[in-house]
A and B are shown apart, each in its own frame.
Chain A
Amino acid sequence: MSEELRQASATPSAARTGAPVRVLYGIHALEVDVAGRSVAEIRHALAQPLNISPRAIAVVDGEVVAEAHLLQAGQQLEFVRLAGEKGRA
């Protein structure tokens, strides 16, 4: 776990319910204790370890959300990896 993710996982106790947040990016799937944190914080924490594109939109439980959206325990956050373009860099 990266230091950024470790810090993001230090969730305020008031937001803890025991259920982690499932974070997806491409083939990667993580269960992390980040309830109460914003999408922007999670993106910042995982941008380097998962190589998340700045253009990847954030989707929580199937709905596109803003960077300020606060995650709740048990939710699924996906940073949608850009579609392969077959040969394009």
Chain B
Amino acid sequence: MLEIKVIGLGGIGCALLPPLARYLHYAGTGGRLTLVDGDAFEQRNLPRQSFRAAGNKARVKAEELAQEFTGLSVRAIPEFVSPANASDLIRNGDVVFLGVDNHRTRKVVSDHCERLPDILLISGGNEWTDGNVQVYCRQGGRDLSAPLTRFHPEIAFPGDGSPADASCDAAVTAGAPQLLFMNLAVASAMLNAFYAWQQGGVRYGEVYLDILAGRSQPVERGGSRE
């Protein structure tokens, strides 16, 4: 059974989940969806995020999806990812969608995935009208593409805080405003990468997007497909 973890239920996660859940439900491939986020939904999130109730984002969204897609197994983990819980949250063979707003969490997740023999990690991030998606795939203990940190020193040596670190919370939440359409574009690119992987392989390790230019650019990121 496909184990899918969606980490971070902000603008990207909220855009990604409805089509992902619908796909898993109707594609007949089976799968279990685990939603991971320690944050609570607030009214200020409304312009870009859809939640039917107040409360922990993972719990509220899991309940919504379970009601809509009754045959789909959905569970919630109301925690932020940290080095302490990464090995419990992310297991060998998982497919991980990562839509967080800080490089420190990206590093924690990528570093952990490097220690697993088989993993697909799809990470998305954006600014106002541009963004990128990184695809880290390991198979049989071998990198088919580069981890998030290899070509991105800003992730390898993050200068920001993690929401798992309470002292850094203010810095993380003080981000600039975002555009709903850009979140949607990144979420779509993440799902496209997942589908390509299901179809036999992702031919790129990263894809850049710019919605004003109307362009995307895939780039290979190391590893070889044999």
A residues neighboring B (CB under 8 Å): 24, 26-29, 55, 57, 59, 62, 64, 78, 80-89
Contacts and interface: CB of A to CB of B under 8 A. Distances in A.
B47 interface: no
Contacts of A86: 10-12, 99-101, 124-126, 131, 175, 178, 183
A87 B219 CA distance: 23
A55 B208 contact: no
Given A26-B208, A26-B210, A83 B217 contact: no
B50 to A, nearest CB: 17
Contact of A83 (B11, B155, B213): B155
Interface of B: 10-12, 99-103, 106, 123-127, 130-132, 134, 148, 151-155, 160, 175-178, 183, 186, 208-210, 213, 215-217, 219-222
Given A57-B151, A83-B132, A84-B130, A28 B177 contact: no
B186 A85 contact: no
Nearest to B8: A86
B219 to A, nearest CB: 6
29 contacts: A24-B217, A26-B130, A26-B208, A26-B217, A27-B208, A27-B215, A28-B217, A57-B153, A59-B151, A62-B220, A78-B219, A81-B208, A82-B152, A84-B126, A84-B127, A84-B132, A84-B186, A85-B127, A85-B175, A86-B11, A86-B125, A87-B101, A87-B126, A87-B127, A87-B178, A88-B102, A88-B127, A88-B175, A89-B176
